[in-house]
Amino acid sequence: MTLDSRIPSGPIEQKWDRCKFELKLVNPANKRKFHIIVVGTGLAGGSAAASLGELGYNVKAFCFQDSPRRAHSIAAQGGINAAKNYQNDGDSIYRLFYDTIKGGDFRAREANVYRLAQISVNIIDQCVAQGVPFAREYGGLLANRSFGGAQVSRTFYARGQTGQQLLLGCYQALERQVDAGRVLMFPRTEMLDLIVINGKARGIVTRNLITGKIESHLADAVILATGGYGNVYYLSTNAKGSNATAIWRAYKRGALMANPCFTQIHPTCIPVSGDYQSKLTLMSESLRNDGRIWVPLKKGDKRPPTEIPEEERDYYLERKYPSFGNLVPRDVASRAAKAVCDEGRGVGETGLGVYLDFSDAIRRLGRKTIEERYGNLFEMYERITGEDPYKTPMRIFPAIHYTMGGLWVDYHLMSTIPGLFVLGEANFSDHGANRLGASALMQGLADGYFIIPYTLGDYLANTKLEKVDDSHSAVKDAEREVTVRIQKLLSIKGKRSVDSFHRELGKLVWDYCGMARNAKGLQYAMGKIAELAEEFYHNVNVVGDGNELNQSLEKAGRVADFFELAQLMCRDALERNESCGGHFREEFQTPEGEALRDDENYCHVAAWEYKGEGQSPVLHKEPLRFEYVHLTQRSYK
Amino acid sequence: MKLILHIWRQKNQASPGKMVRYEVEANEHMSFLEMLDVLNENLIAKGEEPVAFDHDCREGICGSCGFMINGVAHGPLPNTTVCQLHMRHFKSGDELYLEPWRAAAFPVIKDLVVDRSAFDRIIAAGGYISVATGSAPDGNAIPVRKQDADLAMDAAQCIGCGACVAACPNASASLFMAAKITHLGLLPQGQPERKERVLKMVAAANRELFGSCTNIGECEAVCPKGIRMEFIGRMNRDYLNASFTYQEEKEMAGVG
């Protein structure tokens, strides 16, 4: 298989315009003859479904939550980047492009990233027009703040709830199309398989989560916007329901999975407090604008933070990275936190934590300003920990937050299965080996509002789509396979709960394929995961049955897929003999402990092809070329 | 700490439900939902069906979770969803009664899970600004007074959890609607559809069998996002104004 990324020719700043002009169009009267399936209603899926409905397509949209408004994009706190240069501080499309390529440690496609930076400005316009209440200055114009990995202020925000406000804008646009009859919404419905007919994606098999009914939905194209797979780690900042089943089923039907080992550890989360813990809570990266990160200079210093004098504190990010300081990218900040904790200088009961201290900022700006900027985050912190961050520093520790890997897509956002498009976090495309803060919202909305409406039309106009109906053998087979899988999970009736397996799997992946990896550990983890999966299929206990709301059954299906995905993540991590961005292989580091890339051998996208049960997946490489941003070792010093 | 829980168990919409007593061992660092996770793990170990409850982000923002704890929506802590409520606010020996949201418009699906799709239909009726993708002017083309933007944001924080309806003796959706109407009505972008919006949303709420507002204030007391009752006043003012003027304006307008 050759991977054709379909990157348009010409200078980088003209590629997208040229592509848009060359794309074939579907005339308005014909659009309503096409049926499109969109799975997931977060920023990517919701904006795609709404925009395609506006264009006149017949859209069916699916989400497992009880309402499209609850997709996990809603939890994004800090903001959304756009190269508006409203601050007159030297920002430009080119700089946003440059920062994103560099932040991603040179493992993303230049052409895709440039397009993302171009579109970023349209996103802000669209959201403002929808009524998203972005923060404003007294003159009535939009406010900005700075974020990790950048030296300009280009982040737009709505207090600490930017994701919520962007998602609600997109949800309202979606509901407008529901009311207009152009989008049919299926909440509490989970996609369990992809239907491929004559090599093209033609539909999905779903389970109605209330009645348990298995159904097929056919269409002319399928769009997956189902988010990332961070919950493979069990403890993550993802919502409890976030899962990889949709993309994993697509992988098993022939879509390639790219860079699965590129996972992002977010540096500022509330530390784990006990083994009952069900999830980790993020504290927005924007806090690093005003908070200073430190640990005691001495090992095992158990004094309360307020009693540790200034000269006995180590503001290690400011010390190691004087020009970016507390605003280094996420992977760098996370690893630095791990390093000081490994040295025994971590804080809190477990020793797995560092301080994020606002006392200087409160002294400088006053409590009121800090309250205005971060009030809701401070409240959230206090609710969870019982400590008041206005008085005592927050304790934070890195946690899994985002997955840069995902299904491989070309410049048109189409996977290796024709007619299967993948948007947002579910694809691998724009963030390389590390995503910069405030870029996930940007990418989700770029894909959904401004890319798929163009590229989908080109596919439909260029493709001969045969008539298919429910009686097709591919439909029947997919339905049967789904039913068999469900029956199997229900029939085991073993001794252990689904969660107990998930927790154990998560610990393995976190310990061996988390913040730092090495060959020995990865090989060990692959063996252990296989053993655990084996036990799962003999000893899991899924109580209840399949024809009703059964949350254990939902979880069981997702965890079964996580086992397989975890194996592929470890395999990919083992194969990539270099460190880059979030993928840190202990064998490959500079004398200062920074990630050491190997551009000669690994400057490529690793895309894995499923070859069947019990067979090893096959690796395909898409070489990455850097014509505009020259390959250099990242430096934030 | 040891807790005694009485939880509403109902197999599905068609079956009758009842309160069932459970005992569970918890600790003060757990969230309320983590305490229920522990209970569920115990039930699964005994081969019993776990208690179904909606939840997703567990950060208080998605609006999935919510049930009554001793008659109070989201439990005793103000401005807090049940997923953000921690057990340190309870003490050993506490006896807690957990029930689903109860409203004609929110039928029970199972145990503590209810159907809140009526909220989606209210938004679909008019809770938006019509702006097709690609047609927006520059973000800074229309300045918005900071005070208006801030107040709009206060209202826009609604997470659509339904606590306001559950707490209201009339099962009114007024606070939910008022939040959206206030948010969009304060912004210049929301003006063209302002009258139509309020009329359509209120009509939709009536169709869904939500009750009317009688200014009791239970909604504000339980709202996890601190949405204020004064927004209902803004909605009523918009509604009254629109009721008197919208039809006439429509008739006076050009043929389009």
Q: Is residue A210 part of a domain?
A: no
CA angle A492, A496, A499 (to 5 degrees): 110
> Using one digit for the tens of pLDDT, what is the confidence trace for B21-40?
999 999 999 999 999 999 99
A381, A483: one domain = no
C-alpha A352/C-alpha A347 separation (Å) is 6
Taking the CA of residue A468 and the nearest CA in chain B, the distance in Å comes to 31
**Positions of CATH 3.10.20.30 in chain B:** 2-109
Looking at the DSSP bridge assignments, the partners of residue A206 are A191, A215
The answer to whether residue A87 neighbours chain B at the CB level (below 8 Å) is: no
**What residues of chain B lie within 8 A of the CB of A384, using their CB?**
31, 84, 86
Tokens in use for A377?
A: 């985050």
Domain CATH code at residue A370: 3.90.700.10
Q: Is residue A300 part of a domain?
A: yes
Q: Given pLDDT bands bounded at 50, 70 and 90, which one contains residue B256?
A: low
> Using one digit for the tens of pLDDT, what is the confidence trace for A251-287?
999 999 999 999 999 999 999 988 899 999 988 888 9
* Number of domains into which chain A is organized: 2
Domain that holds residue A279: 267-400
- Residue by residue, what is the 3-state secondary structure of A195-247? EEECCEEEEEEEEECCCCCEEEEECCEEEECCCCCHHHHCCCCCCCCCCCHHH
| Segment holding A46, helix H or strand E | helix A43-55
- Residue by residue, what is the 3-state secondary structure of A500-550? HHHHHHHHHHHHHHCCCECHHHHHHHHHHHHHHHHHHHHHECCCCCCCCCC
Active-site hit among A330, A585, A597, A634 = A330
pLDDT of A375: 86
Q: Which of A229-238, A373-382, A569-578 comes out lowest in average pLDDT? A: A373-382
Which of A19, A133, A447 lies closest to B147, judged by CA? A133
- Interchain pair A131, B45: CB under 8 A: no
Tokens in use for A91?
A: 């920002």
Q: Assess whether pLDDT exceeds 80 at residue A149.
A: no
* Other C-beta atoms lying within 10 Å of the C-beta of residue A480: 12
More confident residue, B135 or B251: B135
The amino acid that residue A590 corresponds to is T
pLDDT of B253: 86
C-alpha A420/C-alpha A403 separation (Å) is 20
Q: Assess whether pLDDT exceeds 80 at residue B255.
A: no
* Other C-beta atoms lying within 10 Å of the C-beta of residue A33: 12
Query: CATH assignment of B116-252?
Result: 1.10.1060.10
- Interchain pair A548, B110: CB under 8 A: yes
Tokens in use for A213?
A: 């009914």
> Is residue A601 classed exposed, middle or buried when 0-12, 13-18 and 19+ CB atoms within 10 A define those classes?
exposed
**What residues of chain B lie within 8 A of the CB of A499, using their CB?**
37, 41
Q: Name the domain boundary from A400, A420, A453.
A: A400
pLDDT of A285: 82
> Using one digit for the tens of pLDDT, what is the confidence trace for B207-221?
999 999 999 999 999
**What residues of chain B lie within 8 A of the CB of A126, using their CB?**
131, 133-134, 136
A395, A483: one domain = no
The amino acid that residue B126 corresponds to is G
Taking the CA of residue B200 and the nearest CA in chain A, the distance in Å comes to 12
> Is residue B252 classed exposed, middle or buried when 0-12, 13-18 and 19+ CB atoms within 10 A define those classes?
exposed
DSSP SS3 for B19: strand
Q: What share of chain B is helix, strand, coil (3-state, %, to 5)?
A: 40, 15, 45
- Interchain pair A449, B133: CB under 8 A: yes
Q: Given pLDDT bands bounded at 50, 70 and 90, which one contains residue A623?
A: very high
pLDDT of A635: 80
pLDDT of A275: 86
Top residue of A157, A551, A553, A558 to mutate, by most chain B CBs within 10 Å, is A551
Q: Name the domain boundary from A400, A434, A467.
A: A400
Q: Are A548 and A212 in contact (CB under 8 A)?
A: yes
pLDDT, average across residues A563-579: 98
C-alpha B84/C-alpha B166 separation (Å) is 19
Q: Which fold has domain B2-109?
A: Ubiquitin-like (UB roll) (3.10.20)
pLDDT, average across residues A92-113: 97
Tokens in use for A173?
A: 């646009």
Taking the CA of residue A273 and the nearest CA in chain B, the distance in Å comes to 7
pLDDT of B102: 93
The amino acid that residue B17 corresponds to is G
pLDDT of A158: 94
> Using one digit for the tens of pLDDT, what is the confidence trace for B76-108?
999 999 999 999 999 999 999 999 999 999 999
Largest CA distance in chain B: 70
Domain CATH code at residue A619: 1.20.58.100
The answer to whether residue A168 neighbours chain B at the CB level (below 8 Å) is: yes
Tokens in use for A556?
A: 């069981």
> Using one digit for the tens of pLDDT, what is the confidence trace for B108-134?
999 999 999 999 999 999 999 999 999
Q: Given pLDDT bands bounded at 50, 70 and 90, which one contains residue A374?
A: confident
A614, A488: one domain = yes
C-alpha B227/C-alpha A372 separation (Å) is 17
Q: Name the domain boundary from A345, A373, A400.
A: A400
Which of A265, A331, A258, A329 lies closest to A581, judged by CA? A331
Q: Are A384 and B84 in contact (CB under 8 A)?
A: yes
pLDDT of A126: 98
Q: Are B163 and B101 in contact (CB under 8 A)?
A: yes
Residue A182 falls in the annotated catalytic set: no
Tokens in use for B44?
A: 């699964």
Pairing between β-strand A394-403 and β-strand A189-197 as defined by DSSP bridges: unpaired
- Interchain pair B52, A173: CB under 8 A: no
pLDDT of A602: 98
pLDDT of A88: 96
DSSP code string of A81-126: E----TT-SS--HHHHHHHHHHHTTT-S-HHHHHHHHHHHHHHHHH
Question: Nearest by CB to B34, which of A161, A239, A278?
Answer: A278
Q: Is residue A611 part of a domain?
A: yes
Match 């305490």 to its residue by tokens: B35
- For the stretch A517-526, contacts whose Cβ atoms lie closer than 8 Å and that sit 24 or more positions apart, written own/partner, are A517/A261, A517/A573, A517/A583, A517/A584, A517/A585, A517/A586, A518/A585, A518/A586, A518/A587, A519/A574, A519/A585, A519/A587, A522/A570, A522/A573, A522/A574, A523/A574, A525/A566, A525/A570, A526/A567, A526/A570, A526/A571, A526/A574
pLDDT of A203: 98
Distances (CA, A) of A301 to A296, A305, A312, A347, B116: 6, 9, 10, 8, 51
Match 């491989």 to its residue by tokens: A408
Q: Is residue A495 part of a domain?
A: yes
pLDDT of A22: 97
A395, A281: one domain = yes
| Segment holding A554, helix H or strand E | helix A551-575
Q: Assess whether pLDDT exceeds 70 at residue B14.
A: yes
**What residues of chain A lie within 8 A of the CB of B115, using their CB?**
66
Strand blocks (E) in A586-634: 604-609, 618-623
User: Over chain A, what is the mean pLDDT?
Assistant: 96
Complete edge-to-edge strand list for the sheet that includes strand A263-269: A263-269, A394-403, A354-357, A292-296, A313-314
A492, A390: one domain = no
- For the stretch A159-162, contacts whose Cβ atoms lie closer than 8 Å and that sit 24 or more positions apart, written own/partner, are A159/A135, A159/A375, A159/A376, A159/B153, A160/A77, A160/A78, A160/A284, A160/A286, A160/A374, A160/A375, A160/A376, A160/A377, A161/A77, A161/A376, A161/B61, A161/B157, A162/A76, A162/A77, A162/A78, A162/A79, A162/A80, A162/A438, A162/A441
C-alpha B22/C-alpha B35 separation (Å) is 12
The amino acid that residue A446 corresponds to is A
Tokens in use for A457?
A: 């039309």
Q: What percent of chain A has pLDDT over 70?
A: 100
The answer to whether residue A28 neighbours chain B at the CB level (below 8 Å) is: no
Q: Which of A373-377, A421-425, B155-159 comes out lowest in average pLDDT? A: A373-377
Interface predicted TM-score (ipTM) over 0.90? yes
**What residues of chain B lie within 8 A of the CB of A172, using their CB?**
123, 127-129
Q: Is residue A241 part of a domain?
A: no
Question: Nearest by CB to A210, which of B48, B109, B125?
Answer: B109
Taking the CA of residue B147 and the nearest CA in chain A, the distance in Å comes to 8
A502, A395: one domain = no
Taking the CA of residue B139 and the nearest CA in chain A, the distance in Å comes to 4
C-alpha B184/C-alpha A146 separation (Å) is 28
Q: Assess whether pLDDT exceeds 80 at residue A249.
A: yes
DSSP SS3 for A53: helix
